Amino acid sequence: MEHPVSPVVCLGEILVDSFWLGNQDQKMSLPGGAPANVACGLAKLGISVEFVGAVGVDAWGQALTRLLPDLQVGSRGLQRHPTAPTREVFVLTDEAGERSFAGFSLPDPAGFADAHLICDRIDPHLFNGIKYLVLGTLGLAYPQTRESILQAVEWSHQYNSRVVLDVNWRPMFWENPAQATGLVMDLLKHVSFLKLSDTEAQWLLDTTDPVEIAAQRPYLEGVMVTAGAAGCRYYLGGHSGYVSGFDVDVEDTTGAGDAFVAGFLHQLCTRGRSCLLDAECAHEVVRYASAVAALTTTRSGAIAGQPTPREVDAFLFLRN
């Protein structure tokens, strides 16, 4: 059976975030994982997308397996590990809404299904004709998933598509966090568009200036350095600029960066990459991505809070 080609493939972790409020015994569990969040955000914005990752055959894995097609995300690349469970991340939330990592449902961060994405089980035809491959860096911590990431990068280059990397630095996913810098820097050599927070930029590249980052790495077509509500500085298509943050009533910041990536890719897919050669268009692309991120923070849940195109258009229209 022939499947239509999706312009975007997102590869990486899909998991469950379980939140506790203060000292309460009850928890709230929501789907998550940065690449999965991006895939769902793209689908909600009307962009065809495939997700490649691994879950367990447990109850969480079954729920996430149903979730993707329910949200119109292609799941031909979803693997089901027979023994490793789906990753559950425990998060504590205080009365002010601030969140902190509280552990995993297993003591070994490498014991989960997403750490065992098997390269030989990925269909290379998923990458034939795509425009963008979206990656995070957490999978680099695990040899099997790392092999899959590097193979996907090779396939994407064979088919002349671009790699989009959101650094998404989370040291708790790494058994040896000291390994991270070298592995991330090696991956960065194959990237066309780089998105990272200001703290990630300082950690990885010793600067938060996107122009400086791009000058040191001329293979990058674009760099976006985000600072939450403080906005985003960017270098795209030879143009540098700044988009201020939007003033919104924030309910949940989880997944805001992933929503930004989804908004950015929506614009590249609908406008075409060549629009970045125009300074005004490049600014509008980043402003759109920032609006998607801002709207996502106004509702609970990294995926549930993601906006539709009509909501984004109305939001931007009212702020012109």
**pLDDT 10s digits, 98-144:** 678 899 999 999 999 999 999 999 999 999 999 999 999 999 999 99
Is residue 196 domain-resident?
yes
Task: Report the C-alpha gap between 220 and 188 in whole angstroms.
Answer: 9
Is residue 289 domain-resident?
yes
Quote the pLDDT of residue 1: 47
Is residue 291 domain-resident?
yes
Number of compact structural domains in the chain:
1
Is residue 110 domain-resident?
yes
Is residue 3 domain-resident?
no
SS (H, E, C) 243-269: ECCCCCCCCCCCCHHHHHHHHHHHHHH
3-state helix, strand, coil split of the chain in percent (to 5) is: 45, 25, 35
Look up the domain containing 165 and give its range.
8-317
How far, in Å, are 41, 196, 220, 230 from residue 38 at the CA level?
A: 5, 14, 21, 21
Quote the pLDDT of residue 95: 66
Domain harbouring 132, CATH code: 3.40.1190.20
pLDDT band at residue 300 under the 50/70/90 scheme: confident
Least confident of 12-26, 66-80, 216-230: 12-26
Residue 293: CB atoms within 10 Å: 30
Residue 63 has pLDDT above 70, yes or no: yes
* Model pLDDT for residues 161-220, shown as the tens digit of each residue: 999 999 999 999 999 999 999 999 999 999 999 999 999 999 999 999 999 999 999 999
* Model pLDDT for residues 255-281, shown as the tens digit of each residue: 999 999 999 999 999 999 999 999 999
What does the block give as tokens for 242? 């700044």
Is residue 235 domain-resident?
yes
Is residue 1 domain-resident?
no
Is residue 163 domain-resident?
yes
Higher pLDDT, 89 or 20: 89
